[in-house]
């Protein structure tokens, strides 16, 4: 396979799922802005080092890009750790009780979210995390706008139900 074929595979993947690397950044625990930085950096690094792909197939390029994204996420987590250590010197004091409560709340939301179906998680992620309008959520789910609204409503309802069961 030639470099032109590899470039076509890469650009085809990026056009087909332009937010894929951003979503990968979010799934690796990055915040919105860091996930955007990761997506741009991974795409650029992938494009400039495309000749390093060992098996020029779409699944191999996808796995290779994922590896780049994971490595960049580790670098961002390390940089954020160093940054937050400096910022902690000037941050207002937070009690251990507040931190523990916040951790428990986040854990409960994570547990409730992971208990949802993949389809519910996808709908909620597209709308709530990626802040996409219903039209784009519908496109991402491959359904009509009406069906996307119903999916989101049901997903929110199931998420609320899981959270209420966990709190009782």
Work out the average pLDDT over 144-154.
95
Is residue 88 pLDDT above 50, yes or no? no
Residue 13's nearest CA partner among 73, 72, 55, 66 is 66
SS3 28: coil
Whether residue 122 is found in the same domain as residue 61? no
From the number of C-beta atoms within 10 Å of its C-beta (0-12, 13-18, 19+), residue 51 rates as: exposed
- The pLDDT tens digits for 119-140 are 999 998 888 877 788 998 899 8
What is the pLDDT, as a whole number, of residue 143?
Answer: 95
Is residue 85 pLDDT above 50, yes or no? no
Domain assignment of residue 59, given as a range: 1-91
Whether residue 141 is found in the same domain as residue 154? yes
Q: Chain-wide mean pLDDT for the chain?
A: 83
Q: Are 123 and 155 in contact (CB under 8 A)?
A: yes
Beta carbons within 8 Å of 124's beta carbon, 6+ residues apart: 113, 116, 152, 155, 156, 159
Could you tell me where the beta strands, DSSP code E, fall in 45-166? none
102: tokens are 């916040």
Q: What is the CATH number of the domain that holds 155?
A: 1.10.10.10
Whether residue 60 is found in the same domain as residue 108? no
- Domain C-terminal end among 49, 70, 91: 91
What is the pLDDT, as a whole number, of residue 148?
Answer: 94
Whether residue 66 is found in the same domain as residue 113? no
Instruction: Scan for tokens 């929110």, then name that residue.
Output: 156
What is the pLDDT, as a whole number, of residue 101?
Answer: 78
Could you tell me where the beta strands, DSSP code E, fall in 41-164? none
Q: Are 25 and 35 in contact (CB under 8 A)?
A: yes
Distance separating alpha carbons of residues 102 and 105, to the nearest angstrom: 5
- CA atoms 162, 163, 164, 166: torsion sign: positive
What is the pLDDT, as a whole number, of residue 82?
Answer: 57
């Amino acid at each position: 396979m030639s470099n032109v074929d590899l470039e076509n595979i890469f650009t085809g993947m990026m056009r087909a799922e332009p937010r894929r690397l951003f979503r990968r950044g979010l799934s690796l625990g990055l915040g919105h802005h860091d996930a955007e930085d990761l997506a741009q950096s991974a795409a650029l690094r992938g494009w400039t080092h495309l000749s390093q792909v060992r098996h020029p197939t779409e699944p191999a390029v996808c796995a290779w890009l994922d590896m780049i994204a994971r490595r960049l996420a580790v670098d961002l987590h390390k940089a954020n750790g160093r940054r937050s250590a400096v910022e902690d010197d000037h941050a207002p004091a937070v009690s251990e009780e507040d931190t523990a409560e916040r951790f428990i709340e986040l854990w409960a939301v994570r547990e409730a979210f992971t208990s949802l179906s993949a389809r519910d998680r996808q709908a909620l992620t597209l709308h709530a995390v990626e802040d996409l309008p219903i039209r784009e959520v519908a496109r991402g789910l491959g359904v009509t706008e009406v069906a996307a609204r119903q999916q989101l409503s049901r997903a929110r309802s199931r998420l609320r139900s899981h959270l209420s069961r966990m709190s009782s």
